[in-house]
Amino acid sequence: MKAMTLKKKLLAAFLFAGLVPVFSAGAYLYWQSSQAIETEVFSQLAATRTLKTNALQNYFKLLKNQTLSMAHEEQVKEAFEAFESGFHNYSREQRLSSIDTTVFRKKLEDYYVGSYGAEYKKQNAGKDVDARSLMSLSDNGLALQYAYIADNEQALGSKHLLDSYGKGKSNYHSAHTDFHPNMREFLERFELYDIFLIDGPTGDIVYSVYKELDFATSLKTGPYSTSGLARVYRKAMELGTPNDAVMEDYSTYTPSYDGPAGFIAAPIWINGQKRGVLAFQISFDKINTIALEKTGSAKTLETFLVGSDFKMRSDSQMDSTNRNVRASFRNPETGSIKTEAITRAIGGETVERVGLNYLNTEAVISVAPFEVLGNRWVIQTVINADEAFASLSIMRIAFGVFLLASAVIISLFAAWFARTLSGALSKVTEGLRVEAEKVATTSVALADLSTKLSEATTEQAASLQETVASIDEISAMISRNADSASTSTRTSETSNLAARKGKEKVELMLESISAIANGNQEIIDQMQKSNREISEIVKVIEEISIKTQVINEIVFQTKLLSFNASVEAARAGEHGKGFAVVAEEVGNLASMSGKAATEITEMLGKSVNRVTVIVDGTKGLMESLIRQSKEKVEQGTSTAHECAQALDEILVNVSTVNEMVCEIATASKEQSQGVTEVNKAMSELDQVTQSNSASAMESSHSAGELKFQAEKLNQLIDELRGLVAGEVSTHARSFDEAPRASSTPSKRATKSQNNVVPFRSSKPAVKTVSSPAREVELKKASGISGEAPSANDPRFEDV
């Protein structure tokens, strides 16, 4: 673990943290699902099994009822009586001779050995049968077998199609003709293999539909007295009540070529007497159909029936060649199923389990016992585990893929994270190492500095004395400054006063100028007024001239009147003489007044012209004069304003100068205070200088200490590096053991070695530092203040 790199550790941690919950959750879910699916499969199987069981039980119940109802049928009873009496009296009726019997026997023998033997051989894989041993027949039996089997023109397996035997008359033949078609129809309708009527006392099979070799034999003494049919006949004869039937389980049956045959039988009661037995040979095709009928879509789901002899009672689907009903009875070794589940079911248990099926495949098995009219069968419903749990296997694969993908992703992430982290840590470690080296270097430098510091302290003391002398001179200059400042203040106050007076004068002047401007304006106003008055006079004159025109008009009219008067007077002759004179005088007066009016008009025109000329002349002259005076006034005003402005500026400047002088005075005062404080500070500086030299010595010690700390730091860094990179470094020792460190090829090691050397050589330097400090102390004791700075010191020039 210690040698593992940080990267590997992180990878392991991430994988552990990431995969454990995924795996456990997945496993839990898988377990849960498989449980659920298994339960589901079992319930499905049980349902199928129950369904089939019910169907089969119904079928067997039906069979039993058919047997019983047929046995109680009057027509059947009638037929039985007819066949029974016809059978027993057949030889007598036919009067058969021994020759006939021999012929019959010969013919029958041909049939037994030929047709039957060949079919038997075919069905039993080449096995021969001793056909002759089967020919143990009564005379009646021989004759009827001959009639209905050997002398039946119908082919083997279709002998039942013969309704009436035409050769010779007998009660049996007529009974057969009467009843056979109905019996055959019943057989076909109910899908039975055969129907038998058996005489109770003798056990003779007096009638069968198919006329196989059992026809007309005795179940008591005949060749089939140990067959299943014989057993069911005996059981039926033992029944005490008319409403019961018995069933004989499957067994090999020779007339059916040693194929399996099961029987169901009920006694025929006539008039309270048990006269015979009605027996059915059960069709296992019908049962097979019920068992094999598909329920659902599962491919390997099957249901089959097994008897208590472990032989098949219905065909299996998976091994239909060996495990069908016929094959099972012919070859019980390969055809029977004897699994543990079936054995237990025959024992009465219902078994539901996952285990090996009859073909040694993993399967889900549900098997239960099943009573069939007093016989125990078992019904098994089974499905291949592969199919049943197909979804589980998909889930398993998906889970595996998911787990793998998670692992890959986590690994990648962990690798990236580890790389980032270890990179960062390495960088930090590297940084720390460099810094530690720097610290080591710095501690050497510190020691050097301590030495220099104590030297500087000595120089400082000398400088202090020079500074004190300079400060005294500064103090003297400051007091001179203060004197000058107060003189300046007085001068600036005088200037201020003068400027104020000047300003007042300028303001007075401005007022006068504006008064002049006002006067000018008044003159203009007056001028305009007089011009208005003159133009009014002109107007009056014009009115007069208009009036004069009226006078002219009147004069003209008057003249005309005087002329007319003259005309009239002239007409009047001598009488009008006086009037003519008057008229002429009037005309003359009118002419005179007309002349006068014309003169007035002329005079008015002249005077108007003159007035206009005068007014225009005056106006022009006045305007130019006023314009000039206005310009002058404006010039005066602006000059006065400029003057006032200049004076204002002077005032401002004077006050600024005053303020500045005041500031100089204040500053000088503060300076003198400052100088005092500087003096005080100087003496304090002196003390500080002494303590500085002591500090220099201490800092030498500290440098040594710092070096030791740096070594320790380096050790720690190596440890950190080991943690990150997973390697054990020897750098830590490199400080103390230089030769060993140089043997490692690491760059860092040589660097740190370089750091060590100056450190060792710096130790004596610490001692040299202390000596200047002591010198300072010595100098102080011997009165260092007396030592003046040299005359050519550049600082003196500044003062």
What's the closest the beta carbon of residue 552 comes to another protein, in angstroms? 7
Work out the number of other CB atoms within 10 angstroms of the CB of residue 221: 13
Footprint (CB under 8 A) of another protein, residues 86-125: none
Footprint (CB under 8 A) of another protein, residues 347-366: none
The DSSP annotation for 375-408 comes to: EEEEEEEEEEHHHHTHHHHHHHHHHHHHHHHHHH
Binding mask 536-575 toward another protein (x if CB under 8 A, else -) reads ----------------xx--xx-xx-xxx-xx--xx----
Where does residue 20 rank: exposed (0-12), middle (13-18), buried (19+ CB within 10 A)? exposed
Amino acid at 791: A
CA distances from 180 to 75, 184, 491, 538, 587 (A): 12, 6, 173, 176, 194
What's the closest the beta carbon of residue 606 comes to another protein, in angstroms? 21
- In whole angstroms, give the CA distance from residue 554 to residue 551: 5
- In whole angstroms, give the CA distance from residue 562 to residue 579: 10
Q: Which of 198, 245, 382, 583 binds another protein (CB under 8 A)?
A: 583
Of 605 and 617, the one with the shorter C-beta distance to another protein is 605
- Token pair listed for 658: 């005053």
Footprint (CB under 8 A) of another protein, residues 757-796: none
What's the closest the beta carbon of residue 565 comes to another protein, in angstroms? 9
- In whole angstroms, give the CA distance from residue 248 to residue 553: 182
Of 409 and 570, the one with the shorter C-beta distance to another protein is 570
Q: What is the DSSP-derived secondary structure letter of residue 114?
A: I
- Token pair listed for 158: 């279709």
Of 517 and 561, the one with the shorter C-beta distance to another protein is 561
In Å, the largest CA–CA distance within the chain is: 233
Helix (H) or strand (E) holding 366: strand 362-372
Q: What end-to-end distance do the CA atoms of the chain give, in Å? A: 78
Q: Which window, 53-61, 267-275, 587-595, 743-751, contacts another protein (CB under 8 A)? A: 587-595
Binding mask 428-467 toward another protein (x if CB under 8 A, else -) reads ----------------------------------------
What's the closest the beta carbon of residue 602 comes to another protein, in angstroms? 16
Of 595 and 767, the one with the shorter C-beta distance to another protein is 595
Of 222 and 587, the one with the shorter C-beta distance to another protein is 587
Helix (H) or strand (E) holding 38: helix 6-72
What's the closest the beta carbon of residue 594 comes to another protein, in angstroms? 9
CA 196, 197, 202 angle in degrees (round to 5)?
120
Of 602 and 616, the one with the shorter C-beta distance to another protein is 602
CA distances from 554 to 335, 506, 563, 746 (A): 179, 73, 14, 151
Q: Which of 76, 279, 580, 665 binds another protein (CB under 8 A)?
A: 580
- In whole angstroms, give the CA distance from residue 675 to residue 528: 81
Q: How far is CA 421 from the centre of its chain?
A: 29
Of 29 and 581, the one with the shorter C-beta distance to another protein is 581
Q: Which of 73, 584, 686, 737 binds another protein (CB under 8 A)?
A: 584
Of 412 and 592, the one with the shorter C-beta distance to another protein is 592
What's the closest the beta carbon of residue 545 comes to another protein, in angstroms? 14
Amino acid at 461: A
What's the closest the beta carbon of residue 536 comes to another protein, in angstroms? 29
Of 574 and 797, the one with the shorter C-beta distance to another protein is 574
Phi, psi (degrees; rounded to nearest 5) at 730: -110, 15
What's the closest the beta carbon of residue 564 comes to another protein, in angstroms? 5
Binding mask 262-301 toward another protein (x if CB under 8 A, else -) reads ----------------------------------------
Phi, psi (degrees; rounded to nearest 5) at 250: -65, 140
What's the closest the beta carbon of residue 568 comes to another protein, in angstroms? 8
Residue with tokens 């050097």: 448
What's the closest the beta carbon of residue 534 comes to another protein, in angstroms? 31
Residue with tokens 């585990």: 385
Q: Which of 165, 587, 633, 773 binds another protein (CB under 8 A)?
A: 587
Work out the number of other CB atoms within 10 angstroms of the CB of residue 700: 26
What's the closest the beta carbon of residue 596 comes to another protein, in angstroms? 16
Q: Which window, 160-168, 224-232, 236-244, 585-593, contacts another protein (CB under 8 A)? A: 585-593
Give the three-class secondary structure for 308.
Answer: coil
What's the closest the beta carbon of residue 541 comes to another protein, in angstroms? 21
Closest CA to 626 of 522, 493, 762, 738: 522
Footprint (CB under 8 A) of another protein, residues 318-347: none
What's the closest the beta carbon of residue 582 comes to another protein, in angstroms? 11
What's the closest the beta carbon of residue 579 comes to another protein, in angstroms? 12
Of 420 and 557, the one with the shorter C-beta distance to another protein is 557
Output the 3-class SS for 664-700. HHHHHHHHHHHHHHHHHHHHHHHHHHHHHHHHHHHHH
Q: Which window, 382-390, 581-589, 688-696, 732-740, contacts another protein (CB under 8 A)? A: 581-589
Amino acid at 655: S
Q: What is the DSSP-derived secondary structure letter of residue 786?
A: G
CB neighbour list of residue 128: distance below 8 Å, 6 or more residues apart: 117, 120, 121
Number of residues counted as binding another protein (CB under 8 A): 21
Of 92 and 571, the one with the shorter C-beta distance to another protein is 571
727 touching another protein, by CB under 8 A: no
- In whole angstroms, give the CA distance from residue 351 to residue 82: 52
Of 539 and 577, the one with the shorter C-beta distance to another protein is 577
- In whole angstroms, give the CA distance from residue 384 to residue 533: 146
- In whole angstroms, give the CA distance from residue 317 to residue 315: 6
What's the closest the beta carbon of residue 556 comes to another protein, in angstroms? 6
Of 223 and 576, the one with the shorter C-beta distance to another protein is 576
Closest CA to 555 of 586, 584, 591, 583: 591
CB neighbour list of residue 194: distance below 8 Å, 6 or more residues apart: 187, 208, 209, 210, 212, 280, 281
What's the closest the beta carbon of residue 604 comes to another protein, in angstroms? 17
What's the closest the beta carbon of residue 515 comes to another protein, in angstroms? 59
Of 401 and 570, the one with the shorter C-beta distance to another protein is 570
Of 508 and 592, the one with the shorter C-beta distance to another protein is 592
Binding site for another protein (CB under 8 A): 552-553, 556-557, 559-560, 562-564, 566-567, 570-571, 580-581, 583-585, 587-588, 591
